[in-house]
Chains A and B, each alone.
Chain A
Amino acid sequence: MAQKGEPIIEVEGLMTRFGDHVIHEDLDLTVNRGEVIGIVGGSGTGKSVLLRTILGLKKPDAGRIRVFGIDLAELPEEERRLHERRWGVLFQDGALFSALTIAENIQVPYREHLHLSQELMDELAAIKIAMVGLRPTAASLYPSELSGGMRKRAGLARALALDPEILFLDEPTAGLDPIGAAAFDDLINELKEALGLTVFLVTHDLDTLHATCDRIAVLAEKHVILVGTIDDMLRSDHPWIHEYFHGPRARAALAGK
């Protein structure tokens, strides 16, 4: 078993751009095994693009990305797929397959990658559904029959299907009510404790940052300008970070701690 604390995601000198529009330039970021790292930044600073680039959904225009100590872009297709099973992704609105029920959605990776009996798959899907705090009856429902918060939980259940080492979450609490969002924060903490997950969290939500993150990386001016704990953020005098962590909403979130 790999040691806790060793780097699991390493991004070096990353550059991404759309046409002439440069999103990231010379971006460095290291995520350690077992930590929850929050990625913050203003709208349009490329938080989601960074996530998609690490996942290999977008090609970097320069720089290297190593996940699990391996540069996945250099691996042949087959081997890359093997490593891709070691992470789980929750997209913004769950990105569940609309033609499948929740249980079938969770079973998609089982069906594609493993040969399990239907009995075992049903059992495992039921466990994952319980794990993310959905009612057992949700198993046979279609995504369109669920509320936004339930869809996110179901998406998380699918992301957890293969017991990933890294969990990527893209704005997991956006669009949830405060109670639902707080419950989601608890869920992330709980799963991280029980499963020893590394969580890569893109968020706008200050409460989530406070509640879940070990470290925070701030994206601005096309690269990561600061990585550190909440306290490091509070001490920083960079104008954007100051504004973000000392604004009225931030004070309210801190006061709630």
Chain B
Amino acid sequence: MLRIAASGDWTIAHLSAADGELRSLTAGPVKAGRAVIDFSGIARFDTSSAAVLERTARLLEEKGLRVEFEGVSEPQRRLLDKIDTYGTPDTSKAPPAPFYIELVERIGVTTREIGEEARGMLGFIGTVVSAIGRTAANPRRFRLVPFVHHMEKSGFDALPLVCLLTFLIGAVVAQQGAVQLRQFGAEVFTVNLIAIIFLREVGLLLTAIIVAGRSGSAFTAEIGSMKMREEIDAMRALGLDPMEMLVIPRVAALTVTLPLLTFIADLMGLLGGGVVVFFMLDMSPGVYMSRVQEAVDFWTIAVGLIKAPFMAAVIALVGCRAGLSVTGSAESVGAMTTRSVVRSIFLVIILDALFAMFFTAVGI
């Protein structure tokens, strides 16, 4: 006969050791016959212990033993009966797929997601364009107040940051350029380097990335939390168009402000470069300015500024769409905000590369 005498506190805090012993008991070979589990020594008892003892009894019964409980008090009996009604808990988990299958699956899932996302984005652009069409047909429906509000928030308020960063980058580019070009005795061309690199590429790229991080994320978070609180649904139910109320003002505001910010960023970059050139190369501001004038023509500035509204539209559209794709939970807002920033910076750089190819093709 097998006799299991339980004593002391049978609560979850002390269960670990007992569980191990009982497990090894039921896993090993046992002699057939009678088994008794003696409860009389138990001081405190809880559901977890009841579950463990019930399981032990069940496993012993499966091995052909007759199991009896002895000395069970009334509350313990109630608990055991309760646990018994739940039967064997199924804790088995599906075995993980082999890694190569998982790899293929992930590639497949991601590819499909990219395809769906591209379709969704295209659809969203279509919706926005048609909303812009409606607004253009009836200009009084354009929301002027949010438009100005977003110009201030994403444009004017970004000025200090944009100015400081572009000034510093301008200075760094000039300093590095001067050090390298000095080896050829061509340090005067530092001015050309700064002027062309900033006006064509860096001024805009830097500004676009700052704005994507500052305003793109803000758009997603604002619209996303409205979506989460069902405010977007409320708008629709009240017969208001969220495109008209939320998306168009933001897209329009950014499209107007990003070129302006870029222009200021260009100036600050030139200023930063000028300061370095003044101290490192002893070039007077007057000479610096006339050399800048020689280095650039109308198209150098135009190439930078033409790209700005397109990038602004991309940032705003990506931001707004990510916000509108938020689903119920709060972490979804966070995930979408991250995704919106990553995606808009990615697209800004892709767009820049496409423009570079285009401008090379047309010869500017």
Q: Is B123 an interface residue (CB 8 A)?
A: no
Q: Across the interface, do A126 and B16 meet the contact criterion of CB distance under 8 Å?
A: no
Q: Does B297 contact A (CB under 8 A)?
A: no
Give per-residue flags for A92-133: 1 if the beta carbon is below 8 A from chain B beta carbons, else 0. 000000110000000000100111110110111111111100
How many residues of chain B get a CB closer than 8 Å to chain A's CBs? 31
Smallest CB gap from A1: residue in B: B44
B26 CB to nearest A CB, Å: 12
Residue A194 contacts which of B79, B87, B329 (CB distance < 8 angstroms)?
A: B79
Q: How many A-B residue pairs have CB under 8 A?
A: 73
Question: Measured between C-beta atoms, what is the minimum distance from A127 to chain B in Å?
Answer: 5
Known A-B contacts A127-B47, A127-B51, A163-B12; the reply to A120 vs B78 at CB < 8 A is: no
Interface positions of B from 312 to 355, Cβ below 8 Å from A: 328-331
Which residues from A are CB-within-8-Å of B11?
163
Q: Mark A115-158, 1 if CB is under 8 A from B, else 0.
A: 11101101111111111000010001000100000000000000
Choose one: B46, B75, B90; the contact of A126 (CB below 8 Å). Answer: B90
Which B residues touch A193, using CB under 8 A?
A: 78
Chain B 36-52 interface mask (CB, 8 Å, partner A; 1/0): 00000001101110011
The interface residues of chain B lying within 8 Å CB-to-CB of A116 are 12, 15-16, 19
- Chain B residues positioned under 8 Å from A162 (CB to CB): 12
Count A-side interface residues using an 8 Å CB cutoff: 31
Do A126 and B91 form a contact, CB below 8 Å, given A117-B16, A193-B78?
yes
Of all chain B residues, which has the CB nearest A196? Answer: B75
For residue B55, CB closer than 8 A to chain A, the reply is: yes
Contact A163 B46 (CB under 8 A): yes
Q: What's the nearest-Cβ distance from chain A to residue B9, in Å?
A: 11
- How far is the CB of A68 from the nearest CB of chain B, in Å? 14
B28 at interface, CB cutoff 8 A: no
Report yes or no: B89 in contact with A136, Cβ–Cβ below 8 A: yes
Q: How far is the CB of A101 from chain B (nearest CB, A)?
A: 11
Asked if A120 and B46 make an inter-chain contact with CB atoms under 8 angstroms apart, the answer reads no
A70 sits at the interface (CB 8 A): no
- The answer to whether A123 and B78 have CB atoms under 8 Å apart is no
Residues of B within 8 A of A130 (CB): 86-87, 89
Residues on the A chain within 8 Å of B328, using CB:
144
A163/B91 contact (C-beta < 8 A), A116-B16, A120-B16, A195-B79 known: no
Where the two chains meet, the residues of A that have a C-beta atom closer than 8 Å to any C-beta of B are: 1, 98-99, 110, 113-117, 119-120, 122-131, 136, 140, 144, 160, 162-163, 193-196
Which 9 residue pairs spanning A and B have beta carbons closest together?
A126-B89, A130-B86, A163-B46, A122-B91, A194-B82, A127-B51, A144-B329, A120-B19, A124-B48
Can you show 28 pairs from A to B with CB atoms below 8 A apart? A1-B43, A99-B331, A110-B12, A114-B12, A114-B15, A114-B16, A116-B16, A117-B16, A117-B20, A119-B23, A124-B12, A124-B48, A124-B51, A125-B91, A126-B89, A126-B90, A127-B47, A127-B48, A127-B51, A127-B86, A127-B89, A130-B86, A130-B89, A131-B47, A131-B86, A136-B90, A160-B47, A162-B12
